[in-house]
Chains A and B, each alone.
Chain A
Amino acid sequence: MESVVDAILDHVDRESRVAVVRLEIGELAGVDIAALRFCFDVCTQATAIAGAELDIVRIDARARCRACHAEHHVGSLATACPCGSYDRELIAGTELRLKELEVI
């Protein structure tokens, strides 16, 4: 979370206040959203981000099956392809990205 705060502060000048912080977080990024929100509030205190809304955009996890080559949704890392194979490559869902800010 400190890296989020540092990255944001790199993008705002002293006169600005951040109203919204928008993060993209993949379904399988390994991030506990409740813990993230708690840390956000703690880490942003007394900074230009204090009081900002944390808007989290979830990204569905998708994999490409190496057996049948189809793409499918993976709700967990133990989800098999509908064809039954567990041999797949994750193509989305592990994002942990600071997308944008709304600044006033």
Chain B
Amino acid sequence: MCRICGCGDDYSHAHSHAHSNSHAHTHDHAREHVHVRRVAIELDLLAKNDRLAGDVRERLARNRIAAVNLIGAPGAGKTTLLEHTIRALSGVAVNVIEGDQATDNDARRIAATGCDVVQVNTGAGCHLDATMIDRALRELAPRPDSLLFVENVGNLVCPALFDLGERAKVVVMSVTEGEDKPLKYPHIFQAASALVLTKADLLPHLEVDLERIIENARRINASLDVFPVAATRGHGLTEWCGWLRDQLTKAQ
């Protein structure tokens, strides 16, 4: 690649000598020279997604709907947390968008709680994006003054990058995942507003220090709200649901 005149080896450039040494570029090749034009673009590569996420956020705000994007590894307990949360949030209208690569297993579990749910299957995709939420919302048509949960595809990495138009991202991490997960997967902890530590009833059986998980998470994000819960036993749900009700109040 010739950096001086900016022409590339692969293009229709007449001089055929190898450009391997740093010879001075004094030869006149103006006749054959292909002029290089610089085109300034300055475009954020996530702009398309962010624009649509902005539209979704505006639509939700107009209808006083608080959207919470739940993100966690496969098996963290996102769906179980949701099932018990929905039941604990009595008196609050709840809608759910379920994201998975395949199956509608989770949507069936959520539908059994009595709330409206739409399943999004991403196929090979590893995260939900704003286009999918936009489409799902048209189908779901959530009523105003409600709470909308988006359960993202099980993945601690990619969902961190994609704005869905939500009010808050929440990391769902089980205590069995270990103390150093926030340090190993920092981006999602940085992007989140809250952390729910699930399966907290297993702590007596594990060599895991709850305080150490929280300390590591707050190294990444000092303002993270943290809720240890044991959903199947109902532990910690009151505090977590209080935070969710606050989100709804803020949207109103």
* Residues of chain A at the chain B interface (Cβ within 8 Å): 3-4, 7-8, 11-12, 16-17, 19-20, 23, 28, 30, 51-53, 66, 76-78, 80, 85-88, 90, 95-104
One of B41, B42, B160, B183 near A30 (C-beta < 8 A): B160
Q: Would you call B45 and A99 a contact (CB within 8 A)? A: no
Please give me the residue from chain A that is nearest to B13 by CB atom: A104
Distance, CA A66 to CA B43, complexed state (A) = 30
Q: Would you call A19 and B44 a contact (CB within 8 A)? A: no
- Report chain B residues within 8 Å CB of A11: 39, 41
**In the complex with contacts A19-B8, A86-B218, A102-B6, A3-B40 CB distance below 8 A:** no
Q: Would you call B11 and A102 a contact (CB within 8 A)? A: no
- Report chain A residues within 8 Å CB of B34: 104
Answer whether residue B186 sits at the interface, using C-beta atoms and an 8 A cutoff: yes
Answer whether residue B222 sits at the interface, using C-beta atoms and an 8 A cutoff: yes
Q: Would you call A76 and B1 a contact (CB within 8 A)? A: no
- Report chain B residues within 8 Å CB of A51: 8, 10
Closest 5 CB pairs of A and B: A77-B186, A87-B222, A101-B39, A98-B43, A86-B219
Q: Would you call A103 and B41 a contact (CB within 8 A)? A: no
Q: Would you call A104 and B42 a contact (CB within 8 A)? A: no
Q: Would you call A7 and B45 a contact (CB within 8 A)? A: yes
**In the complex with contacts A96-B46, A97-B45, A99-B42, A30-B7 CB distance below 8 A:** no
Q: Would you call A7 and B43 a contact (CB within 8 A)? A: yes
Q: Would you call A101 and B38 a contact (CB within 8 A)? A: yes
Q: Tell me the residues in window 209-223 of chain B with beta carbons closer than 8 Å to chain A beta carbons.
A: 216, 218-220, 222-223
Residue picked from A28, A76, A104, most chain B C-beta under 10 Å? A104
Q: Would you call A100 and B37 a contact (CB within 8 A)? A: no
Q: Would you call A78 and B37 a contact (CB within 8 A)? A: no
- Report chain A residues within 8 Å CB of B135: none
Answer whether residue B235 sits at the interface, using C-beta atoms and an 8 A cutoff: no
- Report chain A residues within 8 Å CB of B40: 99-100
List, sorted by A's number, 17 A–B pairs whose CB atoms are closer than 8 Å.
Answer: A3-B48, A8-B41, A30-B161, A30-B187, A52-B8, A66-B222, A77-B186, A77-B187, A78-B186, A80-B219, A90-B190, A101-B38, A101-B39, A102-B36, A102-B39, A103-B38, A104-B8
Distance, CA A20 to CA B2, complexed state (A) = 12
**In the complex with contacts A30-B187, A78-B220, A104-B37 CB distance below 8 A:** yes
- Report chain B residues within 8 Å CB of A96: 44-46
Q: Would you call B45 and A53 a contact (CB within 8 A)? A: no
Please give me the residue from chain B that is nearest to A95 by CB atom: B44
Answer whether residue B35 sits at the interface, using C-beta atoms and an 8 A cutoff: yes
Q: What is the CB-to-nearest-CB distance from A54 to chain B, in angstroms, rounded to a whole number?
A: 12
Distance, CA A58 to CA B6, complexed state (A) = 21
Distance, CA A17 to CA B183, complexed state (A) = 43
Q: What is the CB-to-nearest-CB distance from B228 to chain A, in angstroms, rounded to a whole number?
A: 20
Please give me the residue from chain B that is nearest to A97 by CB atom: B44
Distance, CA A20 to CA B218, complexed state (A) = 41
Distance, CA A23 to CA B36, complexed state (A) = 18
Q: Would you call A101 and B44 a contact (CB within 8 A)? A: no
